[in-house]
Structures are given as structure tokens and as C-alpha cells.
Structure 1
């Protein structure tokens, strides 16, 4: 593999990781507010189908993205109302919606499989795209990649450098204390659950309109669960979440390369590599053995390793809040 081929593979990894990054940022906003939305897989399937069909019918890719965001917002609103207003289990509602979105997308999209539709525009950023190595990787891409990179920065800044971000984190960490300081906790949770769902919807459309162009049954099945795993792996941080998405994209690319090198091996074996990696990563960040491993390291390495490998969710994640 020469240099140009290697750069092309790396650019493909960045492209494939971008929709996951968008979904991860959306779920981080939701969970940092204290709500667990497990409907991501069904949401992304419904959004991918809806975005593709709307784009196809209107010949407008932006309307496709808008429709997909609306689907994501609706699914998330159901989770929010069911858990906040009706006091039902967030996990149960999200899981049922995940199954519903899977079946509903297959039924409603059955007449649009294997069709050509509109695609997201591609365009390099002047000057930046000419930077050696980094230019082709990050600045000669599609609009989805640029949006994902900007979203990571904006999400991190919003969470850590703004007053609304502080209220958001307070609603997910110590809702009673936030309420005592004048924060309408449930209103914040409604807002960020729906916003996060809209971003997940955009991620679904980013696949059918940009990465895996078109629609077929199960087009992005499993990617929602991967996004949820990356949120945990990333410690509810958008920057670490973006690295997790890139890691998943790299394993997908590795599976493709290995399939070409070893054609006699079943493709199922190579396609399972990303899933096995996610399982190992989740075990690494949540196991007591990880702490034993850290303590066995030299003292100067222990604190950096602990920051990387040990993660903890928002303290009030999944816990309903009652103001009275």
C-alpha cells in the first residue's frame, strides 16, 4: 500500500466515523441532562430511511436531513414524555422504540430499496485542503464531516464553558441542587433529549445520504448500539467520543483490508471485529481488573491511565426528578 492509498483509507475512516460522531454528541447531550435514550438504533434506521426517501422525492438533500432530524426529535420526545411526564421506565421505552423503528423502517422503506437518490455535497476547504496529510483527511471531505468536527467542538464548549451547559450538567448530576438554584430540571431534560434525538436523526440520514448512499432493510442496523457504547467508552465527553467513533471506523476499515488479504475466511469473522473491540473496551473502562492493572503500573502513569480508563456516568442518569 503506497502513501496515496493509505491516505485514502484514512480519509475513508474519517468519513465513516462522522455520522457516529454526530449520534454520540447527541446522546451525550441527552445523558448529561439525566435521560437515557436507548432508541438510537431504531431512530437511526427510521431517520436513514426517511431522509433518503424525502431527499429522493423532493430532489433536495437538505430537506432529507431536515426530515431525518424531525424523526429523531419525535422518537426522543416520546422517550422524554414517557419518562418525565408519565414516570415510565426510560430503558423500556427506548428499547421498544428501537424495535419499532427497525420494523417500521423496513416496512415503510420496502419500495425504495436499491434506488439512487441525492447525496450530500462534497467540497474541499480552500487552502486547508492543500495541507499535507491533514488536508486530504479532514479538509477535502463532505459537509457531514465538517459538521461532525464542528459539532464536537461546539458540544464540548457548550458543556464546559457556558452557563446553559452548567445547568445541563447540573440537571444530570445533582438535579435537586440545580432546582434549588432556579433551574427547571425537567424542562432542561425535555430540551436536550429532543435536541439529542434530532442529532441522532441527522446521523441516520448521514449514512443513507452520504456514507452508505441509498436504502435497504437494516441499512444501519447496530450502529445505534455502537453509538451508545462509544458514549460510555468516551466517558460522556464529546472529544473522547469522537476518538471512539474513529476507532470504530478504523476497525471497519481493518476488517475490509483483512477480507481482501484472506479471501478464504468468512466475511462474518472480519465483520465481528468492531463488535468484539467494543465489548473489550467496555470491559476495560468498567472492570475492577482495570483498577488492578492501573495500580500495577508506575506511579507516574497511574493518574493519566485512570483518567483514560475509568469513567463514571452522570450521577442522576436515568433517575426521574420531582420538584415537589
Structure 2
């Protein structure tokens, strides 16, 4: 594999990871507030269908307006599904896991039923947008500045959410309602209202992720168009330790695995295509298992103390203390 092939693989990995970045950052925001939205699989499918359907239907208005309406519609669908999760969990005090799982199945079936008229027909897609001057930087320009606007927005989203989480007072309050909601409530924070807001915001980003699939990464619509990506997004949030930067890096790792698998299909034709198609999903789950196992913790203890502590903090993380728990706000 030469340098050009490596750059091509990494460039494709960054581009194909973009929808997952939006989905995983959205779920990270939601779970940091203390709510689990397990509807990710169905939400992404339904949003992908809605985004493509609206963009295709309004194609006569012009490429840019139709794409904007497509992404806006997908975000709205994601927000509505997230509102249902929030209402059932926060107002009705029902199981967040059960509600999310049922919605995942319902939305997936709805996407196939409602999207039937749009199956495998051409439609609008996000155009490439190379940044002048920056695209000419050796290596870096080819990797980061020869993509499209959605990719650049994902870079900004990662930085914005990290700064919001760890460098602003509202971000501190967001983490507080997920860790110690009673203490946040005692300081005058409306925990339920804030959890509603962050759940709906996370759902909207998940909706944008769906449109990113059907209007960019996998342009078009077909039955089960994004099957599997919602579940892998939930796993990546755990693997990334609910930290926006680590979550994003985990998304890019998954993208690299996908890109390498695609490259291997032509480089090693004797391996069945099905094996290479599912390999990235299996490897990501394997990474999650390995980084959660006790033997890895014992292995890290063999390193020098300073390096061991740094490695442990990087690999291991704990979920928000009140994640998935109902909060009684009197």
C-alpha cells in the first residue's frame, strides 16, 4: 500500500464517518443529560427516508433549497422521536430502555413503509466543496479540505460540543443533571426541562445523521438503508466514554475499518464480500469488549505508574451516574 492509497483510504474514512459523528455526538449530549435514547437505529432510518423524500419532492426549487429542506425535515423527525422518548421517560416515568427499543423497531418499519415510493430513484446529494488554498496543503489538504460542507460542519460540531461541555457554565450544568440531578435541582435548575431540551437536541442531530446518509454518504433511499448504524452509534458512545473528542475519534476508527474493508475487497478477492462487509461492526464491538475487560486493566498496571494512570483514564470511563434513572422533581 503506497502513500496515495493510504491517503485515499483515510479520506474516504473521514467522509463516511461524518453521519456517525452527528449521530454519536447527538446521543452523547442526550446521555450526558441522563437520558438513554435507544431509538437511534429507527430514528436514523426514518430521518434518512424523510430527508431524501422531502429533498426529492422539492427538487424543482433548486438543489440548495431542496437539500436544506431535506436536512431540516430529517432534524424535525429526529427531534419528534426524541420528544416521544423524553415524554415517556420524564413525564410518564416509564422505562427509557423499553420506550427507545420499541421506537427503534417502529421507526425502522415506518421508514420502509412510507419510503416505498422513493426506493432506488436518483435524487439530490450534497456537492463537494473544496476550500481554496487549504486544499493545496500536502497531506492535510487532501485529507481534510477536499470534502463537502457536511464534513466541515462535523469538525466544527465536535469542537463546539467539547468546548460547551468542559469550558462553559451551561455545559457544566448539563453534566450535573446527568451526574447529580438532585444537587442541580437544589441550585435552582429545572432538571426535567433541561433533560427535555438536550434529548430533543440530541434527537435532531441524530436526524441530521440520517439525512447525511441518504443525501451524502449513501445518496438515495432503499429499504433498511442505514441498517446497523444506529446500534453501532450507541456502542461508539460507550466506547468513546461520553467524551465528544473520544466519541469522534471512535467514529473515525470505525470509518477507517470500513474503508480498509472496502479496499480489501479488491485487494483480496478470495475473501467473501459478506465477511468484509460485517467486519467493521464486529471489530468495533470487539474493541469495546477488550477495553472493558479485567485482563486489560491488569496489563495496564504493568506499565510505569504515570503511564498506567494516563492509559487507564484514556481507555476506561464511567457513564453519567444518573443515566437512565427517573428523577422526581418536587
Specify the TM-score bucket, using the shorter chain as the normaliser.
over 0.9
Q: Alpha carbon RMSD of aligned pairs, Å?
A: 1.1
Deviation of the 1:121 alpha carbon? 2.8
Partner Cα distance (2:286, 2:98) in 1: 26
- Give the 3-state SS of the residue equivalent to 1:88 in structure 2: coil
Deviations 1:1-57 (A, max 9, x none): 543343222211100011101111100100000000000010000000100010000
Which residue, 301, 313, 326 being the options, matches 1:320? Answer: 326
| Unpaired segments ≥5 residues, structure 1 | none
Alignment-derived partner of residue 135 in structure 1:
141
Alignment-derived partner of residue 54 in structure 1:
54
* C-alpha contact 2:9 2:260 (8 A) present in aligned 1: no
Give runs of aligned pairs for residues 23-172 of structure 1, distance below 5 A: 23-59=23-59, 60-172=66-178
Corresponding pairs, count: 324
Partner Cα distance (2:73, 2:153) in 1: 17
* C-alpha contact 2:291 2:315 (8 A) present in aligned 1: yes
Alignment-derived partner of residue 197 in structure 2:
191
Q: Which moved more, 1:292-301 or 1:273-282?
A: 292-301
Alignment-derived partner of residue 9 in structure 1:
9
Partner Cα distance (1:49, 1:309) in 2: 36
Partner Cα distance (1:280, 1:296) in 2: 23
Partner Cα distance (1:55, 1:93) in 2: 30
Partner Cα distance (2:227, 2:316) in 1: 29
* C-alpha contact 1:160 1:166 (8 A) present in aligned 2: yes
Deviation of the 1:272 alpha carbon? 2.1
* C-alpha contact 2:11 2:142 (8 A) present in aligned 1: yes
Deviation of the 1:127 alpha carbon? 1.8
Whether 2:302 is the aligned partner of 1:296: answer yes
- Give the 3-state SS of the residue equivalent to 2:291 in structure 1: helix
| Unpaired segments ≥5 residues, structure 2 | 60-65
TM-score of the aligned structures, taking structure 1 as reference length = 0.97
* C-alpha contact 2:16 2:217 (8 A) present in aligned 1: yes
Which residue, 261, 264, 269 being the options, matches 1:258? Answer: 264
Alignment-derived partner of residue 309 in structure 1:
315
- Give the 3-state SS of the residue equivalent to 2:301 in structure 1: helix
Partner Cα distance (2:120, 2:282) in 1: 30
